Each structure stands twice: as C-alpha cells, then as structure tokens.
Amino acid sequence: MADTQNIQVAIPLPEKKRKFVQAGCICMMLSVAMYGLVFATLTSPILESVNAMGYVGLFSIFSALGLSIMTPIGGKLGDLIGRRNIVVIPGIICAVCGIAFAFVRSLVPLMILRFLISLAQGAFTAAPYIITGLINERKKVPKAMGMLATSIAVGGFGGSILAGVLTDMGMLKAAIIMPAIPLIAGVMLIGFNLPNQKNEGSVSLDISGIITLVIALCGILLPLNFGSSMGFAHPAIITGFVIGVIALILFVKIENKTNEPLIPMYLFKNKKYTVLLVIGFICYFYQNAMNVYAPVGALQVMKASASLTGALQMPRTILTIILPTIAGVWVGKKTANAWKAMVVGTVFVAIPMFMMAFTTPSTSIILYFAALTITGIAESFRAVSITPSAQSALEPHDMGVGTSLVNFANSLAQTISAAVFAVAYNACTASDPTNTTLIKNGVNAVFVVAAVVTVAGFILVVTVIRPLMDEK
C-alpha cells in the first residue's frame, strides 16, 4: 500500500520549482475561497442591479450544482489531460468567465457565467490537493495541506471583507474581478513549473458515466434544495428523486462494467478509504448549521445586533488562519497522530453543537462566539488529517480520482445537510415561522442533529480508523 512509502515523492521537482508549484496551489485555493465568499456577499447587489432579486435561491443552486457535477469528473480529466492542464485550462476558463461576469448586466448570461465558473472550479478544486500529495514527501503532506486550509481561511475572510468595502465604494466590478487575480497567479505558477504528468497507458473518458452521474446529481440535489420550500411530497420533488435514484443505479452498473470508469467502484472495497470518505462527509455536515442557523439563533432568539451577529465567526476564522499549518506539522510527525487529529475534528464539533442546542432568549452571545471558535480547532485538525490519510490509502494511479472523491463527499455534505437542517427547522416552526419560541425550538433541533451526526463520526474514527492506523 502507498501509506508505507514515507519518503517517496511521486513527482520529484527541484526545490525552487516545488515551492513555486506549492505557492500556485495556495493561490488556487485562495481564489476558490474568495469566489465563494465574494459571490455570497455580492449576490444581492449583483441581482439587484439587474432587477432579479427573486432568483437568489436559483443563483446559489447553480453554484453548488456545478461544483458537485465537476468535482468527481475533474479527477478523471486530470488522468486524461494531465495534472498541469487540469489546472491551467479550467483555471483560464474560470478567470475569463469571472472577469466577464463583472461586465454583464442581463440575468440569463449572468446565470450561464455563474454556472460555468462553478463547473470550472469543480474541475480544478481537487487539483491543488492532488498536486500537493504528489510533489511533497509523505511526512510533509499534512503541513502542506495545512497551508491550503490557511489559504482558504484567508481567502474567505479577506475576500468577503474586500468585496464589501469595494462594493460600498461603488466599485462592484472590481469586487467581482478581484478573485481572478490569485487564480491567474496560481495558473501561471503551476503552468510554468509542473510537468504535465498523466496516468500511464491509454485513458478514455466515460461519457455514459458522466451523463448518468449528471442526471443522478441533478435529480437528487435539486429536489433536496427545493423540497424544503415546495414540500417533499410535491409530485415534482418525488419525480426528481425517482429519476435521480434510477440514474444513480444505472451509473453504478455502468461503472462496474466499463474499462475506464469515472469512479472506480473497487475503491469502495478499500475499507480505510471508504470510512475516511464517510468521516470527511460528517466533518463537513455541521457547517450549514453554523453558517445559516447560528445567525438565526443570535438575531431571532437572543435578539443580538446584526453587527455582532456578523462577527460571530471572526475568532474562528482567525484561528483557522493560524492553526492548520501547526496542526499539519504535528500530524506529519507520526502516523497515529492522524486519527487523533480526526478525534479532535469530531469532538470539537460535537461539543459546541450541543452547547448551542440549548439556546434561549437569555443565552449570552458569548456562548456562540466560544462555540464557533472551538469549531475552528476542529476544522484545523480535519484539514490536515482526512485528505492525507485518504491519499495514503490509495495506490498512485488512483490518486487523482480518489482525492476528487474526497472533495466530492465534502461538497455533497453541505448540500444534503442544508436539506436535512431545513426539514428539522421547518418541522418546529411550520405553525408560526415568526414565533420566537418556535424559532428557538427549530434552531435547537438543527444543532442537536448536527451534534448527533458528528458523534457518529467520532465513533467511526475510534472503532474503525484507529485500529487500521495502529496496525501500521
């Protein structure tokens, strides 16, 4: 197995080129985070400028759907066209569409450009993680992953602030163009310094697999998004689920028969890798509760000010800028430290979620600040343990698609959790959505679900991953 190779480097580079490529990976993730938070911050002013505020939900769904579709496909495309090209080509497409987005003032072209941006991002989002695993010694990978996590925190935090400031100054176009700057830098650093490594032998693209995967994802994810508002018993929602499930079954059958599967089904026979996928999914599950329902609890139940509520994640973000690199160094020192980091990544989510599950009007906003800051510790240790551990469980020829599947599981977690939390919240508030007591019950229900799911992740780490890692 690949996890016994602690010193081998899959793509050996001169130290200067290795640093340039690593810097390029950091720039790429910086841009991804900036695009995500910039569009989150600017969705209202962008749609308001074209008199289309009624399309906020659809605008967000286009973003999530593009990423979900292309993330698993991107790993296979990397095998086909090479690790360098899977960064350069989609990176250029994303930058061009992002810049064009600033100058278009019509709804349909804006929707198309936003979808293309998310598709391009989905194609290259896994690439920095894959490349980081290929150019660094195994023991140095967690530290390098920590640097990527730090860049995501910096990009999200700094990007949203800069976008808001530029928009307030009347420079909306500059705010939209801004994320393209680190993206172009990343494309150039990787394009000029990384050899275009491909999988040895002939590689073909599984077109029928792609078609059935896209139908399955659209058929499942769109009803999940619209189900909470239309009702999950609505005929259109049920029809979407049925189509999605049928397409998923066909996809699995196709992948089991084809010589060049988009997602090799044999990967799921690898117990360690499969459980790590599940744990990664679980470790992302709580984030929708944190991002959406913590502000609801602060504003509607505790009656905190909007400015105070907006600052809830600031200490957490500062922590995730500093801690991941330090955590990565610690994880890299000893294989067993990886499962211990996963314990931190689950326990330090479950505890704050339970803390927030007893929100009342008399609860101090300090509790929310403390709880969300604790999740920053969990996020820092998750970022440097799960992906490197999953990579170590893979054979070299599966590195691309295997790493992409980890990212795919993470993106699915955010989409599925949004639907699950919406059901929990709406079940408590359906009779009167404005009643403070019912809102309190809904928010608390969401945090209980998040905590219970995360506890399941902790159990998997201790009962499955720990014994497997201790054997090494």
Confidence at residue 75, expressed as pLDDT on a 0 to 100 scale: 75
Q: Left (φ > 0), alpha (ψ -120 to 50) or beta: where does 231 sit? A: left
Q: Do domains 13-195 and 264-472 have the same CATH topology?
A: yes
pLDDT average, residue stretch 355-369: 94
Q: Quick check: helix, strand or coil at residue 240?
A: helix
Confidence at residue 6, expressed as pLDDT on a 0 to 100 scale: 41
With 80 as the cut, is the pLDDT of residue 8 above it?
no
Give the closest residue to 119 by CA, choosing from 93, 156, 101.
93
Q: Backbone phi, then psi, for 226, in 5-degree steps?
A: -90, -15
CATH fold for domain 13-195:
Growth Hormone; Chain: A; (1.20.1250)
Rounded-to-integer distance, Cα 45 and Cα 42, Å: 5
For residue range 427-456, list pLDDT tens digits in order: 888 788 788 889 899 999 999 999 999 999
CB atoms within 10 A of CB 214: 17
Mean pLDDT value across the chain: 86
For residue range 396-427, list pLDDT tens digits in order: 778 878 888 888 888 888 878 888 888 888 88
Report domain 264-472's class. Answer: mainly alpha
pLDDT average, residue stretch 162-178: 82
Confidence at residue 3, expressed as pLDDT on a 0 to 100 scale: 42
Give, in order, the Cα–Cα distances in Å from 247 to each of 44, 212, 278, 379. 35, 5, 22, 34
Confidence at residue 199, expressed as pLDDT on a 0 to 100 scale: 63
Confidence at residue 203, expressed as pLDDT on a 0 to 100 scale: 61
Confidence at residue 348, expressed as pLDDT on a 0 to 100 scale: 97
Instruction: Using a pLDDT cut of 70, give the percent of the chain over it.
Output: 93
For residue range 303-320, list pLDDT tens digits in order: 888 778 878 888 998 899
Confidence at residue 374, expressed as pLDDT on a 0 to 100 scale: 96
Confidence at residue 201, expressed as pLDDT on a 0 to 100 scale: 57
How much helix, strand and coil, in percent to the nearest 5, is found in the chain?
80, 0, 20
| Every domain of the chain and the residues it spans | 13-195, 206-261, 264-472
Q: Is there a contact between 164 and 40 (Cβ–Cβ < 8 Å)?
A: no
Q: Backbone phi, then psi, for 137, in 5-degree steps?
A: -60, 150
* Least confident range of 40-54, 201-215, 312-326, 342-356: 40-54
Query: Predicted confidence band at 1 (pLDDT cuts at 50, 70, 90)?
Result: very low
Instruction: Using a pLDDT cut of 90, give the percent of the chain over it.
Output: 38
pLDDT average, residue stretch 201-220: 81
Give, in order, the Cα–Cα distances in Å from 296 to each of 231, 347, 436, 444. 22, 24, 11, 11
Greatest mean pLDDT range, 111-125, 238-252, 290-304 = 238-252
Confidence at residue 5, expressed as pLDDT on a 0 to 100 scale: 39
Please give the full DSSP string across 9-59, using - where no structure is assigned. Answer: -SS---HHHHHHHHHHHHHHHHHHHHHHHHHHHHHHHHHHHTT-GGGHHHH
Query: Predicted confidence band at 56 (pLDDT cuts at 50, 70, 90)?
Result: low
